[in-house]
Amino acid sequence: MNKLNKFLIIASASIIGLSSCTKYSDQLPTIAGIAVSNPAFSTLKGAAIQGGVAVTLSNKNPNDAGGNFTVFAPTNDAFARLGLTDAGTLGVLQNSFLTNTLLYHVSNGNLPGSSITNGGSSASALTIPRKFIFRGTDKYINGSKILATDVMASNGTVHVIDKVLLGTGVNIVASAQLLSNAQVFKSPELTFLVEAVVYSGLAPTLSDPNNNFTIYAPTDAAFKAAGFATPAAIRTLTQAQVQSILLNHAVGTGRFTSELNGTTATTAGGGTLTFGPFTNGVYTIKSNGITTPANMVIPDILCSNGVVHLIDKILLP
Amino acid sequence: MKSLKKTIPIFLFAFPLLSQAQMPVNGFMQGKGKGAVALSYNSESYEDVYLVPQKVNGVPVFNKVTVQSTNLFATVGLSKKLDLQVNLPYIKSTGQASDAVLNNLGYQNERKGLQDISLYFKYNPFNFKTSNGNLALMAAVGVQTPLGNYRVDESLQSILAIGNRATQINTILIANYKFNKGLFLNASGGYSARNNNVPSAILGEFKAGYAGKKVYVDAYIAGQSSSNGTDILKEGFNGVFPQTRVNYSRVGVNLYVPLKYGIGISGGYSSYIAGRNLGASSGGYGALIFSF
């Protein structure tokens, strides 16, 4: 019996030992683990799965000597600004665009919050750069406010942001065509605007790498609200009329919302735009030809020759 | 002792092999020519997953997973000292992903099919009578191998995979001390060698119970510790779940009541209390057992 008792004690201790070795609280999660374990990143988790980067962000970065990534992680609220309220809604996006957009949030190596400097930039895994902007006491990457820095992972660093970073890597016209050709959303967008740009003859200007603009881009819904039933209906106006209207949507030098400086700007057409206050990452835009200002629908899309903000109204001169 | 053996057909295998949460062999022998056939239904579910370094709420993609299994089990004593047992589970694993998510990923909320057949020989070479009971020492060796053509290589869809597609050779040593009045203590430990890059594992179980004329009841803690393998969403993870290091501790209870004509009913409940790379499932079973 003594031997038996001894055996049973050892046996039970060994089983309890199996459970005791399941405490790993001293280990850091990976970046993928952070996204999966934090409810504030549930849409990002869904995006990482659908975009095929969950396994990548579970592992060491093969493109960095230290094996690290830095990820600017959009919260659920950040995705919700784009109408992406849960993993299911990500189906409105083309998968290739989703994957590229996720990679735009990733860079090689550790970039600690302390290394972020005003006016600095950082190359993404998509190669398209991101710009750091300090505004008051807030820090931004492009137009996205950095809500928290330096969440440490075993394979890098996570900073939390309030807007999804959007970068196309191509010029303004080509970027608009990505949307109108349904290469971003599965449903075409900016089809009226692309038609207007082509018809007006402004496409060469807006695709010129030597030019740089902030473009306020009215959505298809904005054109419909203004009475255009189809993109072709724009051709009922003269080319000069369309050109004049479009030039009232362009301001010299591309700026993110976080770089809003002043309350007015002169457009490429010589008109004046009046801006509302910068609130929650957006501001309103009013032109002389409209009574209520336009709101931003999707701000801060970085193109190779400027920044595009989608708006809900045409800015008539 | 003899009367106990006659009245208590020892079944205790009404559990899905999927979780392998309980030792596949118990500490009692059937006796030559005697045995049992059992049909059991088990249902368990989980919303939390044991990952490293922490347990997370919400199963990726599927939110909540329910695993239901129907097992056909049979055991027979080939001799006084040698038992043979066979088990065949049919498993249905169901997720709760939204239609939109399923559509986005091309996934489905269900995987089902025949899982792995298992065959065990259990040998009882030594019995030591004491003043108040009997110590039985046993060794079992078994093989478990996939019978169905279920898949494990469907990326995250395979969260719902019904098994791990490994063939396993399991070797188990058992010590069972039964007091003359029906109480018993049982300790077992073993090694499960697995192929197909599924980590091999050490198995252990400690069980205490009562085997009386009108009722059998036990409570147990069982565990597995894998010898290697990756952690889900940790360095080295390649999206293949069967290659992960699965450890756990699970506690449970079993109850058996003999009725008439050799027929008895059984039920039980069990739950993981710790784990690594598996769903924190809890669930119960019911079984109909015919003893001969």
Closest-CA residue of chain A to B173: A11
Residues in chain B with CB shorter than 8 Å from the CB of A16 are 221, 249
Residues 295-314 of A with CB under 8 A from B: none
- Per the structure, the complete domain to which residue A92 belongs is given by 31-166
Predicted TM-score of the model (pTM): 0.90
Q: Does the residue A284 lie in any domain?
A: yes
Side chain identity at A59, as an amino acid letter? N
| A95 & A156 share domain | yes
The pLDDT assigned to B268 comes to 93
Confidence of residue B141 (pLDDT cuts 50, 70, 90): very high
d(CA A70, CA B72): 52
> Is the CB of A18 less than 8 angstroms away from the CB of B56?
no
Residue closest to A112 by CA, chosen among A143, A142, A146: A146
Q: Does the residue A65 lie in any domain?
A: yes
Domain count, chain A: 2
The pLDDT assigned to B1 comes to 37
Q: Does the residue A5 lie in any domain?
A: no
| A130 & A191 share domain | no
Mean pLDDT calculated for residue range A66-84: 98
Inform me whether the C-beta atom of residue A155 falls under 8 Å from chain B C-beta atoms: yes
**Fold category of B2-291 in CATH:** Porin (2.40.160)
State the CATH number of the domain containing residue A307.
2.30.180.10
| A102 & A194 share domain | no
> Is the CB of A18 less than 8 angstroms away from the CB of B50?
no
Minimal CA separation from A156 to chain B, in Å: 12
Question: Which of the listed residues A126, A146, A166 is the one where a domain comes to its end?
Answer: A166
Minimal CA separation from B189 to chain A, in Å: 8
**pLDDT per residue as tens digits for the range B95-104:** 999 999 999 9
The pLDDT assigned to B18 comes to 32
> Is the CB of A16 less than 8 angstroms away from the CB of B100?
no
The pLDDT assigned to B13 comes to 36
Pairing of strands A264-266, A272-275: antiparallel
Confidence of residue B153 (pLDDT cuts 50, 70, 90): very high
Residues in chain B with CB shorter than 8 Å from the CB of A14 are 189, 204
| A129 & A196 share domain | no
d(CA A79, CA A162): 8
**pLDDT per residue as tens digits for the range A31-55:** 999 999 999 999 999 999 999 999 9
| A126 & A146 share domain | yes
- For residues B135 and B4, the model is more confident at B135
Contact A250, A214 (CB under 8 A): yes
Cα torsion A171, A174, A180, A186: sign: negative
Mean pLDDT calculated for residue range B214-218: 92
Inform me whether the C-beta atom of residue A241 falls under 8 Å from chain B C-beta atoms: no
Question: What is the helix (H) or strand (E) element at residue A200, kind and residue range?
Answer: helix A191-200
| A158 & A184 share domain | no
- Distances in whole angstroms, Cα of residue A235 to Cα of each of A2, A193, A223, A230: 99, 12, 13, 10
Q: Does the residue A22 lie in any domain?
A: no
Mean pLDDT calculated for residue range A91-99: 97
d(CA B76, CA B287): 18
Residue closest to B198 by CA, chosen among B156, B226, B170: B226
Mean pLDDT calculated for residue range A280-297: 97
Inform me whether the C-beta atom of residue A11 falls under 8 Å from chain B C-beta atoms: yes
Cα torsion A140, B234, A22, B96: sign: positive
d(CA B4, CA A242): 97
d(CA A112, CA A116): 7
The pLDDT assigned to B213 comes to 85
Mean pLDDT calculated for residue range B122-144: 96
Confidence of residue A11 (pLDDT cuts 50, 70, 90): low
Mean pLDDT calculated for residue range B14-36: 73
Mean pLDDT calculated for residue range A245-271: 96
| CA angle, A57 then A62 then A64, to 5° | 100
**pLDDT per residue as tens digits for the range B72-119:** 999 999 999 999 999 999 999 999 999 999 999 999 999 999 999 999
Q: So where are chain B's domains?
A: 2-291
- Distances in whole angstroms, Cα of residue A303 to Cα of each of A189, A251, A263, A306, B153: 16, 14, 24, 5, 39
| pLDDT over 50 at B276, yes or no | yes
Minimal CA separation from B33 to chain A, in Å: 30
| A159 & A179 share domain | no
Out of A142-156, A222-236, B10-24, pick the least confident: B10-24
The pLDDT assigned to A26 comes to 79
- For residues B38 and B3, the model is more confident at B38
Confidence of residue B22 (pLDDT cuts 50, 70, 90): confident
Average pLDDT, chain A: 93
Question: Which of the listed residues A128, A150, A166 is the one where a domain comes to its end?
Answer: A166
Question: Which of the listed residues A166, A196, A228 is the one where a domain comes to its end?
Answer: A166
Minimal CA separation from B239 to chain A, in Å: 6
Average pLDDT, chain B: 90
> ipTM of the predicted structure?
0.87
Closest-CA residue of chain B to A61: B235
The pLDDT assigned to A10 comes to 55
The pLDDT assigned to A27 comes to 87
| A97 & A218 share domain | no
Closest-CA residue of chain B to A30: B234
| A103 & A144 share domain | yes
pLDDT > 70 in chain B, percent: 93
Residue closest to A179 by CA, chosen among A52, A305, A303: A303
| A145 & A196 share domain | no
**pLDDT per residue as tens digits for the range A180-191:** 999 999 999 999
| A65 & A112 share domain | yes
- Residue from B104, B185, B250 whose CB has the most chain A CBs within 10 Å, to mutate: B104
Confidence of residue A12 (pLDDT cuts 50, 70, 90): low
pLDDT > 70 in chain A, percent: 92
Residues 31-50 of A with CB under 8 A from B: 32-33, 36-37, 39, 42, 45-46, 49-50
The pLDDT assigned to B4 comes to 42
The pLDDT assigned to A17 comes to 54
**pLDDT per residue as tens digits for the range A278-288:** 999 999 999 99
Contact A90, A46 (CB under 8 A): yes
Q: Does the residue A221 lie in any domain?
A: yes
User: Cβ of A66: how many Cβ atoms within 10 Å?
Assistant: 12
